[in-house]
Structure 1
Amino acid sequence: MKIAVLTDSTANIGDELRKRYDIKEVYLSVLFKGQAYREMIDISPAEFYARMRAESELPSTSQPSIGEYVDKVEELKAAGYTDVIAIHLSSGISGTYQNAIAVNDMVKGIRVHAVDSEISLTPQAFLCVRAAQMIEAHASVDEIVTELKAMVGSQVAYFMVNDLKNLKKGGRLSGAQAFVGSMLQVKPILHFVDTKIEALDKVRTKKKALKRIEELMVDYMDGETTGTGCILHANAEEEAKQWLQEVKEQYPEVQFIIHEMTPVIGTHLGEGALAFGMTKRVLNL
């Protein structure tokens, strides 16, 4: 048995972790005026945000085609893999997870075990790292999938966005919620619930919104002092770095990393978004 870990570009796994754990990827795309650009390959986050500011219309996004997914799995089969742990962004905002399920009827001689992260970005990457570490420890496929599903249900992330217009236009949040947020001129706090993005709270200023997220994390940790965390940003690196220093003081035993949101996620959350994610698993990144 030879097991591969496959994820998608929204996890933004990073070169170091990808190489260390040999994690494979498929790519989502952003589309400007019908032209598709694979995120992190054809367009960088900096290029994306500059383009989005210059355009009058919000870009759209697309998942890898089923043909692209089949090609990737065929490639893994040719490399000698018998099983694939496929960990993808939430099924509530993309059909990539469904592709991972469908490909089993199209490629024989290799089995794809699809895991819905029910989230995206670095918390999705945490799942990939955990899977790869278990493969190194010679765990079985069933053991890995069971652990990942438990981890999905026990990690959290909270997002602060400047407004809800991108989510409203992209159809990732209900129009009523978006309307309330825009009318009150607040900083919405979002999270994933049952694979979908929902508004959790509305706070008047960015500073208060970040403090509210920190309070939510205190509730989540419930006295635990160890784990693995992340601060995420959409072209707001300096703010993210400052926030990271603050949360490190709260959780000195937690290993934190800072990552940039990919163009696909940035399309929906908008420039300037910030997020705080955490798992109680100690991953030793």
Structure 2
Amino acid sequence: MRVKVITDSTAYLPADIIDKYNITVVPLNVHFEGEVFKEGTRYSYKEYYDKLRKSSGFPITSQPSAGEFLEVFEQLASGQDALVILLSTKISGTFQSANMARDLLTDRNVNVHLVDSEFSGMGLGFQVIEACELLEAGKSIDEVTSRLAEMRKKMHLYFVVDNLEYLARGGRMSTISCKLGTLIQLKPVLALQEGELALFQKVRTLPRAMAVVLAELNKAQDSISKIAIINVEYQEKALQLQEQLQQKYDVPVSICELGPVVGSHLGPGSLGVVFY
């Protein structure tokens, strides 16, 4: 019986990949200006970020409930395996909700395997796609999870935000640090390290910050398999960077636009790369 692959909305997978592998995507929630909606519904990314720019408030994001995961798990056939690959436990309680749902399952013949991706965006997306490809090739779940663990060891995600205000408003950075950084045009290079957001390096301008990111990519050039450019409302620059990287590296280079759950904390104009 075919293994069911399940992930959450912060993988930001293309619709054709979701359809090709019949992936179930469990959305996270966005609470903003008196309304609550599931990520990927209600607003296009452009509509949402236009609204975010104009608002003096800030959205709150929350993980799916255990009940929502349980509803998904109960749709599995008896005896079926599910591989559930989710965003980092250090930045969301999504994994915990799925774990609670697994414990609530009454059909003990359904086998739910949970994986903490330690990433979000295409750091998570790459792992979901790899899992689908391996399962399609007949690999066992143990072989797949072992491969994903190897991927995580060599996976890196770096990005630069255009405006520190969003990190501050979202509680990811103190308001004082934000104001000082904006004053001196600080452009911190941030990274996801061991599953959580970390300051990688401080520089003064966007070109210098991107130079730091691309230097890290260049260090790994001999072992890179895939690259994705992540961005928040910065598609034009992402396309330029894609062309630049395709000319330099003989590997696939995709573009991933981040949605409300992740993008709200980084803000429009954010740009980065994830590679392994």
TM-score tier after normalising by the smaller chain length: over 0.9
1:79-112 per-residue CA deviation (whole Å, 9 max, x = no partner) reads x562111111111111111122222211133122
TM-score, normalising length from structure 1? 0.90
- Counterpart in 1 of 2:84? 86
One-letter amino acid matched to 1:167: L
Q: Is the 8 A contact 1:229 1:254 kept in 2?
A: yes
Q: Is the 8 A contact 1:89 1:96 kept in 2?
A: yes
SS at match of 1:18: helix
- Counterpart in 2 of 1:236? 234
1:143-193 per-residue CA deviation (whole Å, 9 max, x = no partner) reads 111111221222111111013332233233467765663453211111112
Which of these residues, 85, 98, 101, is aligned with residue 99 of structure 2?
Answer: 101
One-letter amino acid matched to 1:275: G
Size of the aligned set, in residue pairs, is 274
**1:199–1:91 Cα change, 3 Å:** same
Gaps of 5+ in 2: none
Aligned pairs for 1:169-188 within 5 A: 169-173=169-173, 178=178, 181-188=181-188
Gaps of 5+ in 1: 280-285
One-letter amino acid matched to 2:261: V
Structure 1 position 269 matched with structure 2 position 266: yes
Structure 1 position 12 matched with structure 2 position 12: yes
SS at match of 2:220: helix
SS at match of 2:226: strand
- Counterpart in 2 of 1:283? none
- Counterpart in 1 of 2:119? 119
Q: Is the 8 A contact 1:85 1:115 kept in 2?
A: yes
In the alignment, the residues of structure 1 paired with residue 175 and residue 88 of structure 2 have an alpha-carbon distance, to the nearest angstrom, of 20
1:94-141 per-residue CA deviation (whole Å, 9 max, x = no partner) reads 111112222221113312211111111112111011111111122111
Q: Is the 8 A contact 1:87 1:115 kept in 2?
A: yes
Q: Is the 8 A contact 1:4 1:83 kept in 2?
A: yes
In the alignment, the residues of structure 2 paired with residue 220 and residue 180 of structure 1 have an alpha-carbon distance, to the nearest angstrom, of 33
Structure 1 position 255 matched with structure 2 position 252: yes
**1:54–1:183 Cα change, 3 Å:** closer
1:197-216 per-residue CA deviation (whole Å, 9 max, x = no partner) reads 01111222212211111001
